[in-house]
Structures are given as structure tokens and as C-alpha cells.
Structure 1
Amino acid sequence: MIKSFNSSAEKATSPLLLDIDWDTTLHIVDLIRQGDVNPKAAVQSLTSRLKDTNPNVVLLALQVFESVVKNCGQSVHEQVACRAVMEQVHEVLRTNPNEEVRKKILLLLSTWVYAFRNEAKYRAVQDTVNILKAEGHHLPTVSESDAMFTADRAPDWADGECCHRCRTQFTMLRRKHHCRACGQVFCGDCSSRSSTIPKFGIEREVRVCESCYDDINK
């Protein structure tokens, strides 16, 4: 499955893209959340793309990184917020001359250090930020809403043989679907709405259930 992940990562960071490919990015998130690819292998694959000489590829890779960290939970956090990955990110910041790339890295690090401020096991992020400040880098200020995924992390996907709302049994014709906001499983009729989910960093409309649609769009 890592080959499928690498193929998706290449597509999501193609130098031909003018903007983020949300369909492919969310597919990458799904592959990790469903356990189809090991989080460590996924993070290593994405990290390798930060070394590309094309700044557009690096910016897209950083955007995918942001979505993965916001949506894939602790298993990914443990891989990203480790010393080895932080050293690689620091190296990209040190060697990449593109100003937009450097600004995006500083913003992500500011967000992550705020989000993980109460998590001792993610100390490598704080240590990296301290080094950057000592080197004279100015990190942007972030707020709780910028790092919302600490409190409102994308839920694990539930499973079941019937719709969570109408209790209709799933069959070959009545397929199961997941609401990306609550993670519960629904039939197509009960999850026919679409919405962005800003708190998870999802800026493209995705499938949500009726209840979550109402909550998001109050």
C-alpha cells in the first residue's frame, strides 16, 4: 500500500499544480486513518518531498503535511514531532531560499508548538522553535483557533452494519459512508450534505451527516 501512498503523494505535490489538490490530499489522509499505510512510512514519504528543488512542490508538500497532522491524530503526531523530522524541517528552512517556503515552515512550527504545548513527549518541536529563535527567526503568533486540532481532532472512523441515523442495514446496493466531521457511518441518504470543516483544516466541501452539517453551518 505504500506504493499507492507514494503515488498519491506525488500527485498531490506535482509541480504542475497551481493550487492544492484536495481530493488527493484527503485520499492521503484516508489512507493513514484507515491504517492502509504506516504513519512512519507516510511521514517519511512526505518529508522527502520537502527536499525538492522546486518551491511549488515543497509548498504543496507542506500543505499536505498540515492536513495530515490536523486530521490523522496521535499516530502521526508522534512521527512528525520527533527530533529526526524536526531536524529535517529545520534543514529545509536553513537551505531553501524561497521566502514563501520559509514563511510556511515557520507558520507550521508556530502552530504545532502551540498545539503541543502541554505534551511533554513532543518536546522536539519546542526545542526546534527555541533554536530558530536563537538564530534570529521571528515566528508568527498563533491562536487557539489556528491550532484547533488539539481540542477538535478529527475523530477515528467508526464501523457498523447499519446507518448510525436511520438504522437501515447496509447492503451491496446501500453502501456505507463516513461523515468526515463526526466519524460515524451513514447511508447515502443520511450523509448527502457537503461542507467545509475549518477546524480540521478541510477547506473543500466533503461529505457530512445531517446533524454535523447543521452544527457546522449554524
Structure 2
Amino acid sequence: MTKIDIDKLLHQRIIYKCKPLYEDGYFPQAASESMKQVELAIKEKTGIGEKLFGVRLVNQVFGAGKSIKLKIPLGDELQEQAKSLFKGAFSYYRNYAAHDGSKIDEIICIRVMVLASELLDLIGASSISFTEIGGVEGLIKQGIFDDETQIADLVSLLSSQVFVDETYDGMFKDLAIGGYPDSQYQAVFDLDFVELRSKIENHEFPEDPMDFDKIEWFELTPMGRKVLNQIRKSSSA
């Protein structure tokens, strides 16, 4: 009979945080810590700092309502099934391990660690979406931006950028200088405030070889112009 190397089934986070407990015979504690690591990974991925745990946390990031969402890699049509998977794991294993755990033996502990590893892999492969965060108000409420002015400044900065032949170094330098993290950059795109436009320009002259440049620039969408105008009006009021 082939012996399975358990490390091949476990996420590195589980190996580091939970396997030592398992090896020392603390099976309920190892199982409980495994589910805690899934919970922490969701919070780290989404940046949600609210006091949400277990099923409530899953409902927040996978369910309906205004919030940062965790989008699974297999497609939006399976989002509800992913929510059920996480809810079931938290309802069945996390809650029992956290409040009792007396029946968790070595075999059950291994099952929980493997399940937690699968959930951690799924979290790692998922993406963050701000489309359902609730617009400008939601971005501020969730702590993505400090205030409306910061949103307006980023949108204005992006709409001033022009790129030649897909050279974006200058923009990322400006973002770094302005202190804008990736989450803010992604948020204004998810909420359709700006869009990337492009065209091909021909600089050739008679008897010269063809010389084409790809020109790209960020442009405010109708929604972006509306939001920017609203922010400016409220700032000047």
C-alpha cells in the first residue's frame, strides 16, 4: 500500500501553522487553527477589517450586498456554489472545532487540514472585485479611500496619462509617488470611472520604412465624469 505524503496535500500555510499541532497529537486544536487560517486568508485578501467571522464573513465576501467581493476563478456562475462550500466548511468544521472539538481524532483532523488547504488555494486563485462595493460612499466606508478628494485626485491623475508602445513605467512611478496602492487603482476600473483607450499612429514618410506607434491613454467614462463633477461640487459647497 502506497503511503501518501501529507505535505503534498496541504497548503504551505497549514503545514507551517497547523501541522506541528497535528504531529504533537493536538488534533482538535490543529483542526480549529486550520479553519482560522482560512478565515484570516479571506480577510487578508479582501482587506476587510470588520469584526466578521465564519459564516457572516463568507456571506459578506461571496453574497449579495454592498461590499468588496471575492470572485472565484471558475466563473461568476459558480459564485453561489463557492459561497455554499465555504459556508458549509465553516458551519460544520470551524464552529464545532472552536466550541467543542472533542470528537476530532487524527483522521478527522487530516480531513479538515486538507479541506482548509483546498479553500486556501481557492482564495489564492480568486480575485477581488469592487463592483458591488456601493460606489464612492462604499469605497470610503470600506476604507479603500480616505475621502472623496483622494478618489478625485486619482481619477484626475489617471486621465492625464498617455502611453506610447505599452510603456507604463511613468504611470506606476506617479502612482507610487502619490501613495496610491493597487487596490485603489483597481477600484476605479471596477467601478467604471476610467477606461483605457488606444489608437495606432503612422509616422512614416515617403520612401521611409513604415513607422507605427501604439498610443494609449486613460479616459474618464460618463460615470467617471459624473462622479468627478459631484465630488468637485461637494468640495466647493
Could you state the TM-score of these two structures normalised by the residue count of structure 1?
A: 0.25
More strand by share: 2
| Higher RCO structure (Cα 8 Å, ≥6 apart) | 2
Larger Rg: 2
More helix by share: 2
Could you state the TM-score of these two structures normalised by the residue count of structure 2?
A: 0.23
